[in-house]
Amino acid sequence: MLRYILGRLLALPFILLGVSLVVFLLLRLGRGDPAVDYLRLSQIPPTDEAVAAARVMLGLDRPLPEQFLTWLWNALHLDFGQSFVNRRPVLDELLYYLPATLQLGAAALAVTLVVSVPLGIWAARHRDRLPDQIVRGIAFLGVSVPNFWLGFLLVLLFSVWLGWLPPMGRDGATSLLMPAFAAAFMSLSINARMLRASMLETAGQRHVLYARLRGLSERRVVGGHVLRNALLPIVTAVGMHIGELIGGTLVIENIFGWPGVGRYAVSAIYNRDYPVIQCFTLLMTLIFVLCNLVVDILYAWLDPRIRLKGEAPS
Amino acid sequence: MTAATDAEPAPAAAVAAPGRRRRWPWPARIGAGLAVLLVLVALLAPLIAPHDPAAIALTERLQGPSAAHWLGTDHLGRDILSRLMHGATVSLGAVAVILTLIVVLGIGIGGLSGLIGGRVDAVIMRGCDMFLTIPTFVLAMFMVGVLGTGLVNVVLAIALSHWAWYARLVRGLVLTLKEREYVLAARVAGASRLRVFAEHILPGVFAQLVVLLTLDIGHMILHVAGLSFLGLGVTPPTAEWGVMIGDARDFIWTNPLLLVWPGLAILVTVAAFNLLGDALRDALDPTLQAEGDA
């Protein structure tokens, strides 16, 4: 187990290196000249001399490999450059907004699990009857409804009409409810459907039949034998949705005036503030990769078949 | 247990399935019908829309539904129904271009990788892995950052953030199909590599690709609308569903209906293509159906 975790941790720097190279290359080879954008955001007229000077200042006159190595060296010292807009260190800015995003993301994950697990069990235990139909309906809505629109509908219902919850801002647990639910709705509906399918599959297996034959109560059969094995696919499913959850969180922040990296990144993209865009992408990727690592470790821990084999499919 | 009981009739069913015309289940028919209707609306929007979607009439702003404006007017007095119809053109047009790009990139890069194999394959696949490591929506946002805002760039960004999944998939399919006997037979018979790929491998790849792409259409519509809502995609004068929701947010306290219509349009469109995709998957791949409904 320890070896497995160590191996995965050792792979991490290489993954990040690869991603930073791809991100760097795309930014440099993409359209547009960072020097021109730098001048525009600094409100300096882009004369030929000014562009040339900016290119030297930003190191754009150097060969690409040298630019990348310089960037990498600085990045290893946690220096990701300065924002073109306000000249503040990019990493500091992003880390300032990150806690709010992580809070919302964690809340969305919690909502996903707290809602989807009971729904999945409920549907599986009443297969093809009303509860099952309801859960299927929710699952279908979940993959079809735009999360930002759902956010507005929630505001409409709970803030405008009922006046129960604050429509915007980050102020205590009540302000977290709507954004978390809106960001989580897609993952929770997919999760509920997967848990249902996986419980029905497990319920047909022999060890469950044997547990029933031993005269165990329905509660113990479902809890100890069906659910326990059915939860494994859920762990994988959660891993698959983490990207979706991150994306959802970034969009939802913009609706609820949630002071996270999503709103900051959108304005940076709009302004073509390259250092911010670059650092934002890497930061989100790092979080994504770390979450997946946790999921994989959890999976290995839950499933002896993987744990004892020593390595898991990545 | 199910595997054992299924094993016997499976070959017969697999042979019979393509020839036997099954009646499509209701959800599939509804999905297909709606999808066709939406495509027609998207194609004919300039002809059938009752008003000019960009015509501003400040005297008629924020009206409720009426005979002249079936769904009312927005904050600039523009006809909402007409804007929704033109929005279908933008959304479905964008998705059509994205799908084409993904098919070309997926088959091009994935096919090449699978066919050549060896070191080229390894390099391409590591490149794909890097793209797959970045969360899709973040990658799409990043691509918009690289390319700039606007509809064309959003289309490119979404295609460029999804291609790696399909390249991987195509490569996998090519690798399995390459070893099939009929493909080997064609090689032995002296067909060139290119001809084998085009005539014997591509059709098999294409069928699978179409199913998966249909399942993904809804997802892509949501991405286009999401990026436009954030102000990174379609710019405001153009009628687009995400932009309309963004415009309507200021009127949530006074005219909530403004917010409801474009969202419903997205919901219905995405749902239609999801139903269609599910139906296609079930029709072409009985094993997946068993998995989904187990």
In the predicted structure, residue A165 carries a pLDDT above the cut 60: yes
Residue predicted with more confidence, B25 or A93:
A93
Instruction: Check if the beta carbon of residue B167 is closer than 8 Å to that of residue B124.
Output: yes
In chain B, what residues touch A288 (CB-CB under 8 Å)?
A: 133-135, 138
Q: Indicate if the pLDDT at residue A202 is higher than 90.
A: no
Cβ-based neighbours of B204, under 8 Å, separated by 6 or more: B173, B177
Rounded to whole angstroms, the Cα distance separating B160 from B147 reads 11
Q: What's the pLDDT score for residue A61?
A: 79
How far is it, in rounded angstroms, from Cα B92 to Cα B216?
A: 13
Q: How far apart are CA A138 and CA A135, in angstroms?
A: 5
- Residue A307's pLDDT is 63
Per-residue pLDDT at A308 exceeds 90: no
Closest CB to B270: pick one of A144, A167, A250: A144
Instruction: Report, as an integer, the average pLDDT of A205-217.
Output: 81
pLDDT tens digit sequence for B192-204:
888 888 888 888 8
Distance CA A175, CA A244 (A): 22
* Interval B159-183 mean pLDDT: 88
Mean pLDDT of B96-112: 92
Share of chain B above pLDDT 70, in %: 89
Instruction: Give the number of other CB atoms < 10 A from CB of residue A129.
Output: 10
Which of A23, A101, A133, A148 has the most B C-beta neighbours within 10 Å, making it the best mutation to test the interface with B? Answer: A148
How large is the greatest C-alpha to C-alpha distance in chain B, in angstroms? 76
pLDDT digits (tens, 9 = 90+) for A282-302: 999 999 989 888 888 888 777
Judge contact between A241 and B135, C-beta under 8 A.
no
Question: pLDDT at position A313, please?
Answer: 46
Q: Cα(A197)–Cα(A47) distance, rounded to whole angstroms?
A: 63
Band of the pLDDT at B97, cuts 50, 70, 90? very high
Residues 58 through 97 of chain A touching chain B, CB cutoff 8 Å: none
- Can you give the pLDDT at residue B285? 64
Closest to B264 measured CA to CA, from A153, A178, A168: A153
> Are B146 and A247 in contact (CB < 8 Å)?
no
Helical packing angle, B136-147 and A228-255, nearest 10°: 30
CB-CB: which of A148, A246, A270 is closest to B232? A270
Q: How far is CA A206 from the centre of its chain?
A: 37
Per the CB < 8 Å rule, is A281 touching B138? yes
What tokens appear for B256 in the block? Answer: 């909530």
Chain-chain contact of B141 with A269 (C-beta, under 8 angstroms)? yes
Q: Please answer yes or no on whether A266 and B135 come within 8 Å at the CB atom.
A: no
Q: What is the pLDDT of residues B42-56, one digit of tens each?
A: 898 888 878 888 777
Each residue of A27-56: pLDDT tens digit? 887 766 788 888 888 888 878 888 888 888
Instruction: Please give the pLDDT value at position B148.
Output: 84
B2·A204 Cβ contact <8 A: yes
Which value does ipTM take for this structure?
A: 0.86
Token code pair at residue B107: 């088959």
Rounded mean pLDDT, A171-175: 82
Does A197 reach chain B within 8 Å, measured CB to CB?
yes
Under 8 Å CB-to-CB from B27, ≥6 apart: which residues? B275, B278, B279
How close A107 gets to chain B, by Cα (Å)? 19
- What digits encode the pLDDT tens for the residues B3-47? 333 333 434 444 444 445 567 788 888 888 999 999 999 898 888
What is the pLDDT at residue B5?
A: 38
DSSP SS3 for B249: helix
Strands (E), A16-169: none
| A187: contact with B, CB 8 A cutoff | no
Which residues of B are less than 8 Å from A34 in CB distance?
none
Q: Collapsing DSSP states into helix, strand and coil, what is residue A104? A: helix
Share of chain B above pLDDT 90, in %: 23
Say if residue B111 is exposed, middle or buried (CB neighbours under 10 Å; 0-12, 13-18, 19+). Answer: buried
**B38 token code pair:** 């939406």
